[in-house]
Every structure is written in structure tokens, then in C-alpha cells.
Chains A and B, each alone.
Chain A
């Protein structure tokens, strides 16, 4: 069965530190990849997505992610985090028209 793994459950960083959140998936076919963010008390919002082409995709708020097909990975990065980035981050993989699988989420706490 398809699965999405986010190995970091809770990450704590100081402001201006660099961020990398891991995401690995298990599916051998064509995939589309997403990162969603959920700020405290809010609904999920799309940060960025990969469909095809350049494996380095840029999203909103300075986030980017790199798709490495050989490693089945889609890690999220940001060079310098801010306190306002405190949120929960979900990686999601779409393997078919009706199948969107989410990881368990990574909680990011940024300390001012």
C-alpha cells in the first residue's frame, strides 16, 4: 500500500535558522507531490506542489522543495525561518485521480 513518511514529528528552531523537513513516499508510479501548512487553529493551505518538470519547486513564503525521484523524497526547505512559520506541515502524495495520501505531519516551533 502507498504510504507517506514524515520522520520529524516535532522540530524546534530559533528564528533565522535553516529548515529542512523530510518526506518520503512509497509508490513506484507517477506521483504529484504537495506540501500543506496548517497554522494554529486554521485549515490546511497549499505551500507548494510538484507535478512535472524542474524538480526544485518554489512555493509561498520563501519555501521550496526538491523532488528526488531516486530517493522517493520531497523534502521541504527554507533558508531562514521566522516565528510566523510556527505551524504543522503535511506532505501529501497523489497517486491517482482520487488518491491523496498524507503524512502524519511535522510540528514546527520557531522560537523568537
Chain B
């Protein structure tokens, strides 16, 4: 299994541009989520999905959209990039939404918005 994969690894955007960060998992996990990691702030949940066709907002959803058309894929869209969205983005998945399951993280996408 490849686990959780993310593309691209690095991206530079200009303010106002849009782009999609890709995330895929091959473990047949129900639950997928997106976090952003900023210095001194840990990881903060952006959006999550408990299954195909179901998404919900996390702690910091503004400026981001998600969709979950398949179990495997959970792309994160930046509609109009802003410098405040400069961050490292991690996708994670877990087998179920049960309290007892751990999350597996992807390698991250480092995004810079100028």
C-alpha cells in the first residue's frame, strides 16, 4: 500500500490564483481530513469527510472547498489564494470515525502564496 499520498510537494501561487491540492489513500479508509500546520500553532483541521459524498467543516474552513466523490480521493481547493494561506498542508485518513482509530498522515504540501 502507498498509504496516504499528496501532490504536489511544493507549490508557489500568486494572490488570487486558484489551485487544487490532491490527496489519495489506498487503504479503503472512510474518514479523511485536511490540516494546515503553521509555526507555533500545531495542526488545525480545515475540512473532513466521513465517507464518499459527505464533507464537513473543521476549525479553519474559510477559503477552502472540498469534495469526496470517491472513497480514495479528497482534494482541497483554494478558490482565491491569499498570503494567509501560506502553510504546510497535511491530508490524513483513518479506517473509521470511531473514537478508537488512529489517523495516518500524508507527506504534506508546502504552499507559498506571494
Task: List A residues at the B interface (Cβ < 8 Å).
Answer: 4, 6, 9, 30, 32, 34, 36, 42-46, 49, 51, 90, 92, 94, 96-98, 100, 102-105
The answer to whether A98 and B97 have CB atoms under 8 Å apart is: yes
Cβ contacts under 8 Å, B106 to chain A: 43
Q: Of the candidates B31, B45, B90, B98, which one forms a contact with A44 in the assembled complex, judged by CB atoms under 8 Å apart?
A: B90
Cβ contacts under 8 Å, B100 to chain A: 32, 51
Task: List B residues at the A interface (Cβ < 8 Å).
Answer: 31, 33, 35, 40-45, 48, 50, 56, 90, 97-100, 102-108
| Contacts A43-B105, A43-B108, A98-B56 given; does A104 touch B41 at CB 8 Å | yes
**Which of the listed residues B98, B99, B104 has the most CB atoms from chain A within 10 Å of its own CB?**
B99
The answer to whether A49 and B102 have CB atoms under 8 Å apart is: yes
Roughly how many angstroms separate A9 CA and B42 CA in the complex, as a whole number? 11
Given contact pairs A44-B105, A100-B45, enumerate 20 new A-B contacts (beta carbons under 8 Å): A4-B42, A9-B40, A30-B99, A32-B100, A43-B105, A43-B107, A44-B43, A46-B102, A46-B104, A51-B100, A90-B42, A94-B99, A97-B50, A97-B97, A97-B99, A98-B48, A100-B33, A100-B103, A102-B43, A104-B42
Q: Quick one: closest B residue to A100, CB to CB?
A: B103
Roughly how many angstroms separate A103 CA and B37 CA in the complex, as a whole number? 11
Roughly how many angstroms separate A42 CA and B108 CA in the complex, as a whole number? 8
- Sampled A-B contacts (18; CB under 8 Å): A9-B40, A34-B102, A36-B105, A43-B90, A43-B105, A43-B106, A44-B90, A51-B99, A90-B42, A90-B43, A94-B99, A97-B50, A97-B99, A98-B31, A98-B48, A98-B56, A100-B45, A104-B42
